[in-house]
Structure 1
């Protein structure tokens, strides 16, 4: 199976590209399999096997694996090869707390820069989440969900901080998906973003802070409890 046919163009285009088109398609295909658990934690990956599977060069595979390594989804160690990264509760808890700190500490900057384009983009992403949920496409739902939070934070205009949030988001979603019960309420996941939009449109920073903090803390409503006390801030 050629890599071009493995990942749909629409999904590939939604994920920011940092490499050649061919390696980016492979990166997205492997990201999807890691996030959904098709490639489980600690699974060994070899460039030769992946090149044969996706009918591409080992150079293309190497480039995709390097990007996955930067995202923290694989571990590439000298003399030990490449393995899918672990996915444990301690890491997930730390990343969840870090994500909440990043997203909720700069909402005054977000509100000051919020404009019609931001509102339109967030509404479009909400509708995209709803469509993915109705199609039972959990990976596509996670892509749009991550894009929603990334787009909201972009308004803070803190480009050096944004990659930290991006990393937190991918690992939060991976942990949730790998540990959630089957047949999770995907449509409810999408609708959880509606109150956030309402507070943003009302230009209520305090309410937006409370809603977003609660939203992040209770991401585990659909998976294992990662909070220490079961309460939110």
Structure 2
């Protein structure tokens, strides 16, 4: 009985891991479609349709939609179903202000803890952005861009705050992609991160603050300043 019980537990755990992997893959696929606008704001989503489309169970779809709901990318309401979240300028402006406050306020902690590993990680992410830009892969450019800013902030060692930043980042990038000029220069988007690296390499907190603040404020087509702030140009 003990062997059978152990086998049953192990089999259940394996099934859970497989389900978790499927759910995560679906979450990433739907996140990409929402960020790129393939799934449009306010569009209705049904578990049955998604299960058929992605050839998976409705339980897997439900798990993925719950994660998207936690990120604010979909709205799941009782008796009203699931809809892709709206993407309004007022929300974008509020999130940009929160993001700038989070990223720029604690740069003294980032600079104090900066080391060669941080520099290498950020350069690797910049190279990821450059490769994605050359491939005209706007979504992967967004993924590397968000990773860059998250990695920079992680150096501040404020783990409870990090999820706030990551949520701001995904919505900032969604708004940018849905509202920027078509066929813009993706390589220029990647290169905007070079001054951030230069200021960090110099361990210049003041310069890093000004550069990063301007970088965040002018996220959509490098202007206008969506935060209505007074960051230096």
Q: How does 1:125-136 map to 2 (within 5 A)?
A: 125-136=125-136
Match of 2:198 in 1: 198
- Counterpart Cα distance in 2 of 1:185 and 1:223: 14
- Unaligned 5+ segments in structure 2 are 1-18
Residue 223 of structure 1: how far off its partner (Å): 6.9
- Counterpart Cα distance in 2 of 1:181 and 1:119: 32
Residue 181 of structure 1: how far off its partner (Å): 1.2
Match of 2:76 in 1: 76
Bigger shift: residues 106-115 or 142-151: 106-115
Q: How does 1:80-99 map to 2 (within 5 A)?
A: 80-99=80-99
Match of 1:9 in 2: none
- Counterpart Cα distance in 1 of 2:55 and 2:207: 51
- Contact between 2:96 and 2:227, CA under 8 Å: does it hold in 1? no
Match of 2:167 in 1: 167
| Equivalent position SS for 2:221 | helix
Match of 1:214 in 2: 214
- Contact between 1:51 and 1:58, CA under 8 Å: does it hold in 2? yes
- Contact between 1:24 and 1:64, CA under 8 Å: does it hold in 2? yes
Q: How does 1:109-124 map to 2 (within 5 A)?
A: 109-124=109-124
Residue 225 of structure 1: how far off its partner (Å): 5.5
Match of 2:14 in 1: none
Q: Cα deviation per residue 1:6-42 (whole Å; 9 max; x = unaligned)?
A: xxxxxxxxxxxxx811111000000000000000000
Q: Cα deviation per residue 1:183-206 (whole Å; 9 max; x = unaligned)?
A: 011000000000000010100000
Cα 1:148–1:84, aligned 2, differ >3 Å: closer, same or farther?
A: same
Q: How does 1:1-233 map to 2 (within 5 A)?
A: 20-222=20-222, 226-228=226-228, 231-232=230-231
Q: Cα deviation per residue 1:114-172 (whole Å; 9 max; x = unaligned)?
A: 11111100000000000000000000000000000000000000000000000000000
Give the greater-gyration-radius structure (CA): 2
- Counterpart Cα distance in 1 of 2:176 and 2:132: 17
- Contact between 2:45 and 2:82, CA under 8 Å: does it hold in 1? yes
Misfit runs of 4+, over 3 Å: 222-225
- Counterpart Cα distance in 2 of 1:39 and 1:159: 31
| Equivalent position SS for 1:82 | strand
Aligned residues between the structures: 214
- Counterpart Cα distance in 1 of 2:94 and 2:66: 24
- Unaligned 5+ segments in structure 1 are 1-18
- Contact between 1:107 and 1:156, CA under 8 Å: does it hold in 2? yes
Residue 112 of structure 1: how far off its partner (Å): 1.1
| Equivalent position SS for 1:121 | helix
- Contact between 2:94 and 2:227, CA under 8 Å: does it hold in 1? no
Cα 1:60–1:144, aligned 2, differ >3 Å: closer, same or farther?
A: same
| Equivalent position SS for 1:158 | coil
